[in-house]
Structure 1
Amino acid sequence: MARLGAITAASALLAGVLLVQWLPQLPPYWSLVLVLLAAAWLAWRCPRWRWLAWLLFGIAWAAWRGGVAMDARLPRALEGHDFVVVGTIADLPLAQPDASRFTLQAEQVTLDGQPIALHGRITVAWYEDAPPLRPCSRWRLSLRLRRPRGLLDPGGADSERSALQRGIVATGYVRDVADNAPLAGTPWCVDGVRDAVARGIAVRVHDRHDAALLQAFTVGDTRGLQQRDWAVARANGVSHLIAISGFHVGVAAVFGVWLAWLVYALWPRLGLWLPRPQAQAAAALLVAAMYSALAGFGLPTVRTLLMIAVVALARCSRRGSSGAQSLALALIAILLADPLAVLAAGFWLSFVGVAFLMLCLQSRGRGVRAFLHELSAGQLLMTVALLPLTLWFFGQASLVGALSNLIAVPVVSFVIVPCALLGMLLLGLCPPLAAPVLWLAARIAHAQWWLLEQMATWPGAHWYLPAVQAPALLLAVLGALWLFLPRGVPLRWLGLLLFLPLLWPPLPRPVEGAFQVWVLDVGQGLSVVLRTRDHVLVYDAGARYPSGFDVGEAVVLPSMHALGIDHLDMLVISHGDNDHAGGAEAVANAFPQAQRYAGEPSRVRVPMRQCVAGQAWQWDGVRFRVLNPPRGAGDRDNDSSCVLLVEGRGGRLLLPGDISSAAEPLVAAALGPGPAPVLLVPHHGSRTSSGAAFIAAVRPRLALVSAGWRNRFGHPRPEVLARYAAARVPVFDTAGQGAMALDFPADAPPRREPGWRQRQARYWRE
């Protein structure tokens, strides 16, 4: 009964916390007091309704914590100001070619000498001449700050949700002033130990990539891994093994049990003061806690640590504890400590995976054969059971993941991690002996990674599906549960049918003469995806930054996958500026068969054909015409932009790139008669474009701006917006709307859909 009570309480608490995360805005604090009083009354007076009390408590607790976290953010009125911040560097700083990036735990914040009530974590970039930065060091820095805000696109990462879950209250960069300086009194912290261990591994393992893998396995330091490493991990479904996973903490706990056994074998009289089972439980918890600290207390490690703590406390108090009860108590502990943990993908992958293993994996006795069966069956179960959640959170899955994990999990968990743990121990006790142990671990990691790289090229390693809808997710999870029920349950194979809405979702396509358009939110840049009935065109691909962040790879391709687009017929790059052409290489490599055109082919990193006025083609009843640049016009920078006019039966779309007022008359003259087009505002709304004569000649029915939030150019400029307002043209921008979708039906005028910030409104989004 007690076990069922813990499971019921955990389920109800989780449901209450989860309900809050779907709210577009949080309820006022006074209403939460009423909810808490109702929960307390139900728990006291109605024992049968205690599950409802837990549900109401979860709602009130999650809403209050969410409200406190949002209130802790930098006030909107203070965005863009320079602050003097005293704080300690938390986590592990990352030095990149363009900047050093780190998280600063703010201790004191002032604006013009006046203290500001801003406490929490600030993500910082130091762009110019950044000095070496160490964890735990204290600094006084001049920072230009703003509230956490990210790009919002179909299939893209939600950095604002991540900022809320991580307690980020502001983002900013270091201003180049003389007052920036380190401070005395640097405290000791775990991140400093992690950094010291990572540097010790780098010194003793000469191959940089092998050292980076060991650093990730041992202390969760992923700074040495490249984008290709993460791509290989995703293709094999082993991302959970790169940084420290919960299974590694379990191995550390077993190491603690063995250590206690060794101590009692050497000094058996210790059993007179403390029984060995209780000592082993305490040692397991202690070693697991130390290892979780070295991992930075990530969510998978905390979940495993809490489960170990429940089992250890039950053992020390001589009380039994089942696996399901331990999982439920660990869930309750995490939700009470941090209800915002449900915003992290790791929370769901950890708990759902363990729950499926407990419910569906039956023990086959003992021995090597039983162990191998449980290991192989467990990997198959985890691959299928976590497939819906993997697609929900990441938009892709790996069909070779079961085999990859079958190889990688035992090698990493039973060979590499124990060797690395022993090497870490020897680093402190006897450094010369650490080198051969770490060398052995590095060679094994090297061989395993080589195999994973080969498997990453297999068919099905990268499997993409359109964005998963909540009903399809729930049906697939139920289907996985039904599919893996114990033997004897009839018609288990019918669970496969519940996967159908997930694997084959309905994808309405434009009819003949119609087309759909998505202006993606790429920050200060441009990327447009256009689809007719059977063809797809991408116009510009966003920027690529020196840090390695590629908008083409991080935004354009995931958006196409989320929209159900699995092919590309043409890639058009308006001109060679980085904010338009930087991501072209990633898109071209993903779709090598696509035709490529550009206004300035020589400035694009992949081979492109010259885009010239007069080029035209037709797809599925939709006509495409190039209006600029003229043939033989030469290099005109922004005015060399490839201007594209798209004409369907119900409306037109004009994509002018970054042309200025000098080229606008030519484009307006070439536009020709027809209905008022939807206009993508030239050059992001720069003052050198969108002249009054151009707006009058084009007569757009509405105008769209692709620009970054609070960008340094001030786009779109107020005078430009004033000209559109004077012409009574409504203007919408990606900075405020997120990605924008437009539908051009064959038998109706163009229709603008709500932006992604409106259609997926959540309380944590700006």
Structure 2
Amino acid sequence: MRCALLGFVGGAAWLQTQAMLPPHIPEVLLAIALGLAIVRAAPGLLPLVRRRPTSLLAGARPHAWTWQRVLKPLFALLAGFAIGFYWAAMLAHSALAPQLAKADEGRDVTLTGTIDSLPNRFEGGVRFNFAVERVEGRTMQVPPRIALSWYAGYRGAVVTIGDVQPGERWRLTVRLQRPHGNANPYGFDYELWLLEQGVRATGYVRAGTGTGNARLASFVYSFSNVVEHCRAVLRDRILHTLAGKEYAGVIVALVVGEQRGIPQSDWQVFNRTGISHLISISGLHITMIAGLFALAASALWRRSFFTRAQLPLLLPAQKVAAVAGMLAALVYVLLAGFGVPAQRTLYMLAVIAAALWLDRLASVTHVLCLAAGVVVLFDPWAVMWPGFWLSFGAVATILYATVGRTADHHRGADAVAVAAGAAIAGAASSGNRPLSHGRRPQLNRRQRFTADLKAAARVQYAVTVGLVPLTMLLFAQVSLVSPLANAVAIPVVSLLVTPLALAGAVLPELLAAPVLQLAHGTVWLLVQVLEWMSASRVAVWTAPTPSPWLFCWALFGTLWLLAPRGWPVRWLGLVAWVPLLAASPSHPPEGTFRVIAFDVGQGMALLVETSGHRLLYDTGPAYTPESNGGNRVIAPYLRARGISALDAMIVSHADADHSGGALAVVQNIRVLWSASSLPPGHPIIRAAGLHTRCEAGQGWTWDGVRFDMLHPTAASYGDKTLKPNARSCVLKISAGGQSMLLAGDIEAAQEAELQARAQDRIAADVLLAPHHGSGTSSTPPFLAAVRPTLAVFQVGYRNRYHHPQAQVYERYGRLGVRRARSDESGALTLEFNGQLSIESYRDAHRRYWR
């Protein structure tokens, strides 16, 4: 069974790497099921299937032993793999079926439906999912679930944002587009996330269209609407009670799993200290709540609720406790939004509760595999997110490092219960007792405390060490202060903050305020300690994301390190970590350079690499007050590459689509010096440290690669009539007879100026299209002077400026210039090594949902 379940998970994961979905899925699934039935029901067809003793010493035939120990598990693994692959494909076909037609993008349509999620309110608007019930006035096919944004003051219009609540029915006039997200190496896959949520179109609410937007019903009853409404009520209650408190978002996250109210600065502290798993409804919290309800139910049932009913004679208290714990866990998981860690814990609890009711023993490894199989059964895309692998990896590490290594090694139901309970707790970094196959000897209180402390340290050590390779693979960093931070944070968050937050969310208002204030004050004190821990430069170890073989080698070393006592020289396992932790970022060869043009939407951001230096040209746009190209695209990419410092950063001009991510870059990455055309006193200049002004005539050479600043002139800074675009920093990069011209947002006047002033210096093989291909730039004389063979357009999908303008884009084509657009190709990697090569991220990483 375990092999089949592991194969099922592996097959579903393999499907998510495919560029196309396989056809004829029902027939294949039927054939696999038929093959399994034949093998199981007609063992006479295969001599190896005979049921024999599994030990050669017991007199089993060699072919029977081979079947039981080798072929049967292998067959189960392969069959599970095939079923998982085609099951995930069938669900993917079904999820992709509701699709907005390409021709219907950007057209206004009036819809009637219900608010289908917890609204996310932000400065200037609100976002929510909308369950479509009816399309009015058009024959347009609209997917049943869409994601909408409702903005205030769009383009100066006075728009009143409806106070939308889950379960309300609205009539809304909207403008939709197909799912589309930025596509970058090591970046968040927004399109996959939408597919997993069942969202097949995104858009925004239109105002002033004549039909109006109106609430039609205050609540439409359904199970999901009731759940989301309860989450909204609890969230609003907490935010009202803790109005103006900086960590109110943390309290909300612990109660309803809504993490969007936590600012990026706090997440940075939590990630650097390795306690981000606690700032959510995790398996540890769910197990704790389930355990409290189970204990309460058991105590009351044993006492027959203080009556003479003698209820334990009708039903054992253990079974009542299992049901109570399961129901409490289910409610809490629903409040959590049904995330993967919460699902894993719920399914484990369900398996153990079922085993208890049926009086059957449950192996912890069976529980773990079954929980993983159930998660993938309902959500095959879960394998694409770090939480899935961290969640199950943590529990598997505990099992490997502790099961069967303590006490008397007696077998029995108690051993299974203890082991399964520790697995349910998830927990990983929880500090619960180690798994045991024996009963604890009689100890006094002090001895029990010492034993529990040692057990907690042992589990914490196992998880900290065991997850190092996986953490490096997923995040390219590992927190060195995590053991100490978790030792402080786990008891504080799990035993104090979470119970207080839950109690404060449901108590009457008079009692809720002091309880929530106490929870918030505790979080405040905890964060002060965590900020002190995270402030050190050695708090986090970073290295490039390892290759598959390097990860497997480090994993082998970790298994060796955590092997049972008596295993020879276990410390040698650390040697396998050396290539993992000591790896350095890759560089292009001497005298060549590489350019990565990021897909940041409507904005510019390019990383230029030589054999020993790195330069960032522009930093992408600001998406929201908390989100920008710096912290969403650039910093994750640099972190995954193991790049902790930039030699230079150039911000071409002050427009938000070029400078929006600069502050985030400076906060996350060390920048040695910066250059820009920004006005004196600009926040970016103050934050960047060593800064110089872009001026024509500047130049330097790195590793055989020449950098020349061609624009703006020093005199242009005194002209107050010029717009920021006119002073864009124009940089030319040359090496080995090849070159690229980064033109920023210059327009026709500056193009003509460059022709007159530097006619012989602007020719380049690759041109970053000026001003994203707007109608005010890329004039025919300028293109004739540059003579590019390739033009790169960094533009947002269906951007409101309609960049690149159709006539400009066609102008490049008529001149025989090859064109690449970030909205179609994703991030572009250009190698200048004697011959120009270009790689499109979307082409190199084709997936069926893109």
Out of 97, 103, 108, which is 2:123 matched to?
A: 97
- Give the Å deviation of 1:593: 4.8
**Aligned mates of 1:408, 1:333 — CA distance in 2:** 31
Farther-moved stretch of structure 1 (651-660 vs 366-375): 366-375
**Aligned mates of 1:523, 1:85 — CA distance in 2:** 28
Aligned residue pair count? 751
Task: Verify: 1:39 aligned to 2:122, yes or no.
Answer: no
CA contact 1:150–1:160 (8 Å) conserved in 2: yes
The 3 A distance-change label for structure 1 pair 742 and 306 is same
**Aligned mates of 2:650, 2:541 — CA distance in 1:** 26
CA contact 2:764–2:786 (8 Å) conserved in 1: yes
Q: 1:760: which partner in 2?
A: 845
**Aligned mates of 1:205, 1:582 — CA distance in 2:** 31
SS at match of 2:116: strand
The 3 A distance-change label for structure 1 pair 509 and 474 is same
Q: Which runs of 5+ in 1 are unaligned?
A: none
SS at match of 1:728: coil
Q: After superposition, where does 1:29-108 map in structure 2 within 5 Å?
A: 30=24, 32-47=25-40, 48=72, 49-108=75-134
**Aligned mates of 2:640, 2:521 — CA distance in 1:** 39
- Give the Å deviation of 1:605: 2.9
Paired amino acid for 1:690: S
Q: After superposition, where does 1:712-731 map in structure 2 within 5 Å?
A: 712-731=800-819
**Aligned mates of 2:822, 2:650 — CA distance in 1:** 20
Out of 109, 116, 124, which is 2:149 matched to?
A: 124
Q: 1:156: which partner in 2?
A: 187
Task: Verify: 1:615 aligned to 2:698, yes or no.
Answer: yes
**Aligned mates of 1:393, 1:438 — CA distance in 2:** 35
Encode CA deviations 1:502-533: one digit per residue, 9 max, x unaligned: 33446442333221111111110101111122
CA contact 1:70–1:764 (8 Å) conserved in 2: yes
SS at match of 1:569: strand
Encode CA deviations 1:131-168: one digit per residue, 9 max, x unaligned: 32222222221111112211122222111122222222
Paired amino acid for 1:594: L
SS at match of 1:662: helix
Task: Verify: 1:685 aligned to 2:711, yes or no.
Answer: no
TM-score norm. by structure 1 comes to 0.93
- Give the Å deviation of 1:660: 1.0
Task: Verify: 1:533 aligned to 2:611, yes or no.
Answer: yes
SS at match of 1:596: strand
- Give the Å deviation of 1:750: 2.7
Q: Which structure is higher in RCO with an 8 Å CA cutoff and minimum separation 6?
A: 1
RMSD: 2.3
Farther-moved stretch of structure 1 (8-17 vs 354-363): 354-363
- Give the Å deviation of 1:26: 1.0
Out of 287, 298, 312, which is 1:250 matched to?
A: 287
Task: Verify: 1:9 aligned to 2:4, yes or no.
Answer: yes
Paired amino acid for 2:273: N
Paired amino acid for 2:698: Q
Task: Verify: 1:516 aligned to 2:541, yes or no.
Answer: no
Q: 2:425: which partner in 1?
A: none
Q: After superposition, where does 1:86-485 map in structure 2 within 5 Å?
A: 86-110=112-136, 112-114=137-139, 116=141, 118-128=143-153, 129-177=160-208, 178-184=211-217, 186-188=219-221, 189-205=226-242, 208-264=245-301, 265=303, 266-267=305-306, 269-362=310-403, 364=406, 366=440, 367-425=448-506, 427=507, 430-485=508-563
Encode CA deviations 1:155-188: one digit per residue, 9 max, x unaligned: 2211112222222211111111352111215135
CA contact 1:154–1:563 (8 Å) conserved in 2: no
Encode CA deviations 1:638-674: one digit per residue, 9 max, x unaligned: 2211111111123111111111121113323415269
Q: 2:711: which partner in 1?
A: 628
The 3 A distance-change label for structure 1 pair 680 and 447 is same
- Give the Å deviation of 1:248: 0.7
Q: Which runs of 5+ in 2 are unaligned?
A: 41-71, 154-159, 408-439, 441-447, 686-690
Q: 1:594: which partner in 2?
A: 672
Task: Verify: 1:503 aligned to 2:581, yes or no.
Answer: yes
Pick the structure with greater CA Rg.
Answer: 2
Task: Verify: 1:751 aligned to 2:837, yes or no.
Answer: yes
Q: 1:575: which partner in 2?
A: 653
**Aligned mates of 1:674, 1:216 — CA distance in 2:** 53
The 3 A distance-change label for structure 1 pair 598 and 203 is closer
CA contact 1:642–1:656 (8 Å) conserved in 2: yes
The 3 A distance-change label for structure 1 pair 242 and 622 is same
Out of 731, 737, 745, which is 1:658 matched to?
A: 745
Q: 1:641: which partner in 2?
A: 728
SS at match of 2:713: coil
Paired amino acid for 1:615: Q
TM-score norm. by structure 2 comes to 0.84
Q: 2:688: which partner in 1?
A: none
Paired amino acid for 1:24: A
CA contact 1:544–1:578 (8 Å) conserved in 2: yes
**Aligned mates of 2:471, 2:106 — CA distance in 1:** 37
CA contact 1:656–1:681 (8 Å) conserved in 2: yes
Encode CA deviations 1:299-320: one digit per residue, 9 max, x unaligned: 2111101110111111112212
Paired amino acid for 2:34: W
**Aligned mates of 1:194, 1:417 — CA distance in 2:** 16
Farther-moved stretch of structure 1 (596-605 vs 66-75): 596-605
The 3 A distance-change label for structure 1 pair 274 and 383 is same
**Aligned mates of 2:759, 2:485 — CA distance in 1:** 55
Farther-moved stretch of structure 1 (278-287 vs 181-190): 181-190
CA contact 1:39–1:57 (8 Å) conserved in 2: yes
SS at match of 2:748: coil
**Aligned mates of 1:717, 1:275 — CA distance in 2:** 74
**Aligned mates of 2:243, 2:811 — CA distance in 1:** 62
Q: 2:433: which partner in 1?
A: none
SS at match of 2:528: helix
